[in-house]
Structure 1
Amino acid sequence: MDDHTNETAERNWLEVELEDDMDEELEQAVDDTRVPPELRALLENRKKSSIDRTLYFNELLRLQGELVKLQDWVRHKGLKLVVLCEGRDSAGKGGAIKRITQRVNPRTCRVVALPAPSDREKTQWYFQRYVPHLPAAGEIVLFDRSWYNRAGVERVMGFASEAQVEDFFRDVPEFERMLVRSGIILVKYWFSITDEEQQLRFLMRIHDPIKQWKLSPMDLQSRVRWELYTKAKEDMFARTNIPEAPWHIVEGNDKKRARLNCIAHLLSVVPYEEVPHEEITLPERVFDPNYERRTLPPELYVPDRY
């Protein structure tokens, strides 16, 4: 086989791999655009994403490649990175987190999404249940909602008293300064959407059986209490936007732009470099001339329906 044939075969193989990557993202993109019949008329007036689809896919894969380099650097240098993702319900936190973690090693980059506190946890120091999830050296942790629940949903819904909320605001700046002093890189994102966009996304969830699980009673109440959440958010920014851990607002009405902007910003937070790796050579398979592969019973196999 000549060099030209080798290059052609390698290019075709890479194209197939890239197609697999694109298909994975395309599945999610199609899911984002599935429109229930009840909402088609309403969606006709919705502002479409202004970013070219090919550009979005190309940039997403490029940025995800950089995230792999960032993770390698974090492991190589023994850094500790914490990313908080906050925002209104349906603002796009989950979609952004999914794209950040899509290509990296889940053993050292994990997502923490804690449920409502148990009766026992309610009696603990407020930050106690979050501390065990903080990273060790070489790890990245993304919080899908965080200790800022107290400044948002707990405050607005009356799950925390005004005294507890005031204690939180007094304690959280020092808590975060302690984290930073311990060597943790703390990055805080707030995903922001308009009233109209949240309404539309909630309606999508109501009318789409695949997405109904995303809608909770708390989400419905967040619509009723939109203005209270706005006031709570503004108070939170005013009292917790500290130099050691400032807030970064991600405009989320355009999901695709929000994901790219968030990832690009995250990559700018840590001045990473590419870690040199030893060249990997696939070893030759060892063949045993006396080994015969057994024929397994057909009932063990998943039916070949596709």
Structure 2
Amino acid sequence: MENLTQKDVNKLNSTRGLKAILSKEPYNLERAIRYVNYERKLKKLQVELIRLQTWAIQNNERIIVLFEGRDAAGKGGAIRRITERINPRHMRIIALPKPNEDEKTQWYFQRYVEQFPKAGEMIFFDRSWYNRAVVEPVNGFCTQEEYEVFMNQVNDFERMILESGIRLVKIYMSINKKEQAKRFSEIKNDPLKQWKMTPVDERAQELWDEYTKYKRTMFSKTNTKISPWKVIRANRKTIARINVINHILKSIPYDKNTEV
């Protein structure tokens, strides 16, 4: 990288900068500077997230942020950056397994409602009731009738959530097919991440077009004025994480002067 400014040199000469340079080979100074800039932005935004949470606690607010997106889109990574600095006693991350036999007999939304926030609490759904809008029909985990019932009920369900005073933020992490294939390859080759691959993940590339069809229907039916979707372009993880946090902060009218 040519024409480094003194500011760039100072960034690279910091602990964060040296870590960024040495973390990957071959060394790439431009990438290292981008990462330092990302870390600085992230820290500032995490301070704002603490303000948001403090405001929510003081005002008995209830907040739901749900994340959807294709497999390996970066939902979990974004949630970790959001939650790593806030008070764990007033937030929860929800990643529900497939329903058990009893849950299969219940109203579809029931097991999600049981996870809803109490006063002063923020919860983050790593996948949500929208499993039935895309993942389940694509993979044959629900019937056509169950899918249609869900699509007929979901907007009313979210209207009731909002009218009850719960704040709801819906985020969709979007990656392209090539990036998903690249991330799957990285997961398979990393012994610390191999557990993440599931049979559903294994078929995701093969079923790409089916996912796209159901995703488009989901947006056309559920991107409502009172409960809109925010699509975050997520091919670049660091940029996506910054954009996700910015969107959450803009979506909830917290008092930016809250002391932390």
Name the structure 2 match of 1:54: 36
Name the structure 2 match of 1:253: 235
Correspondence 1:87 to 2:69 = yes
Q: 1:49 to 1:113 in 2, by over 3 A?
A: farther
Q: 1:56 to 1:258 in 2, by over 3 A?
A: same
Q: 1:202 to 1:232 in 2, by over 3 A?
A: same
Deviations along 1:262-289, one digit per CA (max 9) or x if unpaired, are 0011111112123347xxxxxxxxxxxx
When Rg is computed on C-alpha atoms for both structures, the one with the higher figure is 1
Deviations along 1:196-216, one digit per CA (max 9) or x if unpaired, are 000000011111111101111
Q: Contact 2:81–2:241 at 8 Å: present in 1 too?
A: yes
Name the structure 1 match of 2:251: 269
| Runs (4+) off by over 4 Å | 48-51
Name the structure 2 match of 1:224: 206
Structure 1 runs not aligned, ≥5 long: 1-17, 41-47, 278-306
| Cα drift, residue 244 of structure 1 | 1.3
- Describe how 1:11-160 pairs up with structure 2 within 5 A: 52-160=34-142
Q: 1:215 to 1:200 in 2, by over 3 A?
A: same
Q: Contact 2:51–2:259 at 8 Å: present in 1 too?
A: no
Q: Which amino acid aligns with 1:221?
A: R
Q: Distance in 1 between matches of 2:47 and 2:126?
A: 22
How many residue pairs were aligned? 241
Q: Contact 2:67–2:173 at 8 Å: present in 1 too?
A: yes
Identify which of 123, 140, 161 aligns with 1:179: 161
Q: Distance in 2 between matches of 1:224 and 1:56?
A: 34
Q: Distance in 2 between matches of 1:196 and 1:81?
A: 34
| Cα drift, residue 123 of structure 1 | 0.7
Q: Which amino acid aligns with 2:234?
A: G
TM-score by length of structure 2 reads 0.87
Where 1:253 maps in the other structure, the secondary structure is: coil
Deviations along 1:99-121, one digit per CA (max 9) or x if unpaired, are 00000011111100000100110
Q: Distance in 2 between matches of 1:49 and 1:95?
A: 19
